[in-house]
Copies of this chain bind each other. A is one copy, B any other.
Amino acid sequence: MSDPTLERDTALRGRARAVIPGGMYGHQNATLLPEGFPQYFAEGEGCRVRDVDGNEYIDFMCSYGPILLGHRHPAVEEAVRDQLARGDCFNGPGEAMVELAERLVERVDHADWALFQKNGTDATTLCVTVARAATGRSKVLVAAGAYHGAAPWCTPIPAGVVAEDRANVATFPYNDLTGLREAADAAGDDLAAVLVSPLKHDVFVDEELVDPAFARGLRALCDERGALLLLDEVRAGLRMGRGGSWEALGVAPDLSAWSKALANGYPIAAVLGAEAAREAAAQVFSTGSFWFSALPMVAALATLAQAEREDAHARVVHAGERFRAGLAEQSARHDLSLRQSGPPQMPMLLFDDDPQFEIGRAFTAAAARRGVYLHPYHNLFLCAAHDDASIDAALERTDLAFRDARAARPATRGAPCSR
């Protein structure tokens, strides 16, 4: 098999270096990925995407989360085309906004109201601001090492961040009630909120499901201290469950932040909140030039309806389990110790004895060359369009990718080595 060409991609990267700082930025910056990963994409359908050179990939990143039903799902696209024929952005929202708020309030147990934005960072920032308005307090606790956004108060990269941006943010260890209590004690009577993701899903490390006792203890602590519990559903929302990700645990947040999968790829975010925070939410000035646009709202309505119709949640879980089982069998056969952590809908694939991700990079690069788009150190995202045939087609290729990675494995492996 000859390697696919990335000629057009390479040319575009060259042009980009002249007019985009660093050539690219943010979480979609492919210069950080191994050679063989494309930067620029041309089209997609179902669970398959095509890069600008015409190479096709079975897509296990799903645009880093937004694609829940598959690329260009007909039910969503039809709603989008209908709205486009009338327009998108006016002096006020369309009636889809009211209907979307109603559907989300019906669907997510803790929610009595909704506000809409564009990005995950908009939603988590608004949660914090509403919590401060509701409590009159300043301090916010977040789980250490957990990624929450790209604004100065929550970015994982320090460039351009000043001390005051983080002055009211303190951390606690995920799933550690004792550590949480110590952080809350340090915040004292100025604790406005605790912001937490439904599972620990950071780059570079194994995912960690929430300990139900931790979730319940967190809820009790917030109640005891008069602080709000904010659930960051941006990455997990609609993949971990039909409604809120902690509903199965019986733990209800006061506010939750949603984005990625809400509209199957169209740009929207939402804050959902409980009655007690409604007045504070009405006082905070939240707005954006395109936050009222109709197109992503009709896309979200279609996504929610279609997800029910086809039981997307069960389909995504099934696809993830099938992929996981196949990868486990293959990696064992190729004598590569693959660790699969997190839920099957959004699994993390890491290798033992691979501190620099060399095996992971070799494996995912080989997979990309063979038409399977994975990631060396970010969790993957399954979608409802990953039917059994697609999973099996992907597994045929990952089998070869494991073989390639086995061949490329650093020579020191097998012998003890100091790390």
Contact = CB atoms under 8 A, between A and B. Distances in A.
Interface in A214-256: 234
A417 interface: no
A283 B159 contact: yes
A387 interface: no
A120 B157 contact: no
A52 B94 contact: yes
A405 interface: no
A290 interface: yes
Among A92, A114, A260, A290, the most chain B Cβ lie within 10 Å of the Cβ of A92
A130 interface: yes
B30 A66 contact: no
Interface in A357-403: 373
Contacts of A323: none
A122 interface: yes
A160 B283 contact: yes
A143 to B, nearest CB: 18
Given A28-B93, A150-B286, A132 B160 contact: yes
Nearest to A190: B162
Interface string A97-141: 110011001000000111100111110010011111100001000
A24 to B, nearest CB: 8
A211 B94 CA distance: 40
B90 A49 contact: yes
Contact of A284 (B80, B84, B159): B159
Contacts of A25: 115, 281-282, 285-287
A88 interface: yes
Contacts of A172: none
Nearest to A269: B289
Given A44-B87, A81-B84, A288 B63 contact: no
Interface stretch (A35-43, A176-184, A328-336): A35-43
Given A42-B94, A84-B77, A115 B21 contact: yes
Given A25-B287, A41-B93, A16 B162 contact: no
Nearest to A120: B289
Interface in A266-284: 266-267, 273, 278-284
Contacts of A128: 160
Interface string A322-365: 00000000000000000000000000000000000000000000
A277 to B, nearest CB: 8
A305 interface: no
Contacts of A28: 91-93, 287, 292
B27 A92 contact: no
A98 B21 CA distance: 12
A56 interface: no
B119 A259 contact: no
Given A159-B284, A283-B160, A52 B95 contact: yes
A291 interface: yes
A286 B150 CA distance: 6
A409 interface: no
B157 A92 contact: no
Contacts of A287: 25-28, 150
26 contacts: A12-B98, A15-B98, A18-B102, A21-B113, A21-B278, A25-B285, A26-B291, A28-B287, A38-B92, A42-B94, A43-B86, A66-B289, A88-B265, A88-B266, A118-B118, A119-B119, A119-B290, A121-B288, A133-B159, A138-B163, A156-B285, A157-B284, A164-B164, A164-B165, A164-B168, A267-B290
Closest 6 CB pairs of A and B: A26-B287, A22-B282, A129-B160, A133-B160, A157-B285, A267-B290
